[in-house]
Structure 1
């Protein structure tokens, strides 16, 4: 495997420092935060991606980034780090938040704020909470750097975005967030993703 610098901390920090993220008003929706968590051995870094258990009431069996709702009085940053600890047993400091991407509004009533979080030189500390996480995937740079698919649906004028991941397709919001991370961090293209649609099954 060739050494890959794109997921090294200095490269990520440099790319995000050039990017101005966009915020959304929450209004009557609920605020949430997710982590694009990057770690592992040098030049072999990976991103942590999860699959939700099929028994969950909300979005069962779907791919997700670690994260969840922001509690009253809690900042988005604090919620992101709390959820990372609760779901994957990964505990890092606010200093390890490297930057943020654009907010994304979901059909199910959330405004999601994505943060890029550095989780260190090992992923051995990752222990999934079986209540919230069925599978943890370690996604390398070559798997992130894949062109998305865009699909038209009759229910919306906006295209559904699909990120091809192994033998599956990851839809928005997760697919949209990962696509923007790839665009901004790998290619220094300040691509916006708020107008990409979710599939109808995720609207509930």
Structure 2
């Protein structure tokens, strides 16, 4: 993924011969209307200067990249340059524009990966908690505290069944009269109100408490 077009980078490389250039950014900002008055990170902004501040000090915006995030906020990246020497800012000559871009891109990608992992962890935890609630209320009395009991000696312990096996049994209880050796009268009302995602949640909960 490139933050800036190859044409822009070529122009910036040319510009470096007679203009000072810096790259500033802001992650997860929630309003385009207020970004220009918001202090930016990186480059010569250093979390002390906004775009308005930079313009007052002789900088101009050469390019901007705005990327929407999955949470409804925006990531902003600004390339700024000035043709005049400016004593208020010391340019970091050790980093090229490409290196600055790669550094910011790496940070944004690492943050995106971290947020994705956190969402996956939360999703897994929510699944287990929901599974526990359903299991305790609907299943535990017959199948045991940890799914270890063969209910009425007609089914495998739930802890030893996959979510597909459980779904298959629930489908048969719901649609086949007499399935379950006469215990369908107990199981059918429960099976009719258990959804496929709830089965996965139940299995996630049972797996979590039966780990050795």
Structure 1 or 2: more strand by fraction: 1
The structure with higher relative contact order (CA 8 Å, sep 6+) is: 1
The two structures share one fold, judged by TM-score above 0.5: no
* Larger radius of gyration between Structure 1 and Structure 2: 2
Structure 1 or 2: more helix by fraction: 2
Q: Which TM-score applies when normalising by structure 1?
A: 0.30
Q: Which TM-score applies when normalising by structure 2?
A: 0.29
